[in-house]
Structure 1
Amino acid sequence: MKSSYFWHSVPIENLCGQIMASGKITVSDRYQIRSALLDDTLTEPEQILINRLLYGIRHGLLRIID
């Protein structure tokens, strides 16, 4: 199984793009990212994308919604 597919089978790249475009991260998005992190098979580009999301959250560029 390719490392970028988890939970609902959405590639991490697509998920990050959707989050960045909308400016919001949902509970479902968080669970998918968490699953990817726990699997510990992320590629370096995928890790960089997740780090960018965390940066956006810390600096108020992305909102966390329930």
Structure 2
Amino acid sequence: MRSAGTSNQMLMEIVLERIFAIRRITRRDQQLLMSALMSKKGLNENDQQQIGRVFDALQRGLIKVVD
């Protein structure tokens, strides 16, 4: 059986892969990502790097925000 932390980490990885693959982030993606992150007690270095990648790509216009 998987722990909630493991399933949330997997969910986060899936959402991040999709965001970078299609270069778009939807409100649903944002909600799923936030839910996975907020369920954790703290962000590890990898989590921080992934969030930084998304933020940087958004600022540079490499990822578009869609509804």
What is the identity percentage for the equivalent residue pairs of Structure 1 and Structure 2?
A: 27
Residue 11 (structure 1) shift: 2.1
Q: Which residue number corresponds to residue 31 of structure 1? A: 31
| Larger-gyration structure (1/2) | 2
TM-score, normalised by the number of residues in structure 2:
0.73
More helix by share: 2
Distance 2:46 2:18 in 1: 16
Count of residues paired in the alignment: 64
The aligned residue for residue 63 of structure 1 is: 64
Unmatched 5+ stretches in structure 1 = none
Query: TM-score, structure 1 length as denominator?
Result: 0.74
User: How big is the alpha-carbon RMSD for the aligned residues of Structure 1 and Structure 2?
Assistant: 2.2
- Contiguous gaps of at least 5 residues in structure 2: none
